[in-house]
Structure 1
Amino acid sequence: MTEDISMREKKFNQWITVISIAVPIVVALLFGYKIPNAKPLGFLPPIYASINGLTAIMLVIAVIAIKNGKRSLHQKLMTTCIIFSALFLIMYVAYHMTSETTMYGGEGTIKYVYYFILMTHIVLSISVIPLVLITYSKVYLDDFESHRLWAKYTFPIWLYVAITGVIVYVMISPYYPY
């Protein structure tokens, strides 16, 4: 039985590694590609910013649910957060494949604040991919103790990424050409 769990965990870890490397590379490649003659999808940023906001809210509710012993609700909320994060990523890439990059127009200290938030958001959004996948996989491996340990690190990073996604949108939205 232990070998079966070990083999399952090894397969999960292989997939987590592949996905954690492939997603940022594919996003970076697609981010730099513009679809010729495509109509800009300027309506997407407020939608994917809203998805980030909903993800943040659901993450908090999911933690409250598990602390109150509502495991099924917690699992449904966390699965929804993963789906929302995937939808965000698809919309984000689609927007950037059809639209020119919007430059932040603020000046002075606020400009440095914006770029600090943006950079930490980007770096942590890359690191949250394996964290979420590892944390989520522990449930399927019936390793709830490891799940809890990983979640202590994954939750605040994922929450930060979701919240700063909204903040970045609010700060740059006055400079969108649409």
Structure 2
Amino acid sequence: MKGHGQETISETSFKKRNYKPWIIAITIVINGLVIILSGLPGVENFDLFDVKILPLMNAIFNSFTFLFLLFALIAIIKKNITWHKRFIYLAFTTTTLFLVTYVGHHFLSASTTYGGDGVLKYIYYFILITHIILAAAIVPLALTTVARAWNMENERHRKIARWTMPLWLYVSLTGVLVYILISPYY
């Protein structure tokens, strides 16, 4: 029993924060922005730089995100929490850079139509559709997963991370595949 005025370390040094309003707001802004930009025609006569470089940058950032997530997964399997956190933060950084270049590309240029046919066309659209759906879902999942880690809700963090990690890996890998398949048509 603790005496008057005595507190445990967890009560004094750590206070859980409610990240839910931020997660909801960020999810709405990011997914809303992507939806709005996908319907815009792009900026006419933009000649400051060749905007066709942006999809390549998207693929590069997605590649790094995939690698960082893979390293984060290996680190946590080895119970190295410090490196796990570092790689997760790097994955968030490259995902953010991806988002900036993705939004920039879709603001500055019209959407590119896939020009292939046959079986490859169906494979492309399967990858694209699953990528888009899961990319929208990964925003709140990744933010919730990291918020639970920040709040030291370790068991809840592990439960959601079991879903977040494979989905985020899939989204980042398929982002690269989408680029590879559509790049001849830019």
1:19 aligns with 2:29: no
Q: TM-score, normalised by structure 1?
A: 0.90
Task: Note the C-alpha offset of 1:30.
Answer: 3.0
1:70-108, Cα deviation, whole Å (9 max, x unpaired): 111110110111111111011011112222221111111
Aligned amino acid, residue 43 of structure 2: I
Q: What does residue 81 of structure 2 align with?
A: 71
Q: What does residue 174 of structure 2 align with?
A: 164
1:38 aligns with 2:34: no
- Inter-partner Cα distance in structure 1 for 2:166 and 2:124: 20
1:58 aligns with 2:58: no
Q: Which moved more, 1:14-23 or 1:134-143?
A: 14-23
- Inter-partner Cα distance in structure 2 for 1:77 and 1:60: 9
CA contact (8 A) 1:55 1:162 kept: yes
CA contact (8 A) 2:38 2:111 kept: no
1:152 aligns with 2:152: no
SS at match of 2:115: coil
CA contact (8 A) 1:31 1:93 kept: no
Q: TM-score, normalised by structure 2?
A: 0.86
SS at match of 2:19: helix
Task: Note the C-alpha offset of 1:27.
Answer: 2.0
Give the fraction of aligned pairs with identical amino acids, expressed as a percent.
39
- Inter-partner Cα distance in structure 2 for 1:100 and 1:12: 35
C-alpha RMSD over aligned residues: 1.4
- Inter-partner Cα distance in structure 1 for 2:59 and 2:33: 21
Report how many aligned residue pairs link the two structures.
170
Task: Note the C-alpha offset of 1:123.
Answer: 0.4
Structure 1 unaligned segments of length 5 or more: list them.
Answer: none
CA contact (8 A) 2:128 2:178 kept: yes
CA contact (8 A) 2:145 2:164 kept: yes
Task: Note the C-alpha offset of 1:66.
Answer: 1.3
CA contact (8 A) 1:32 1:97 kept: no
Larger Rg: 2
Q: What does residue 118 of structure 1 align with?
A: 128
- Inter-partner Cα distance in structure 1 for 2:38 and 2:115: 21
Q: What does residue 102 of structure 1 align with?
A: 112
Task: Note the C-alpha offset of 1:18.
Answer: 1.5
Any runs of at least 4 consecutive aligned residues in structure 1 with deviations exceeding 6 A, and if so which? none
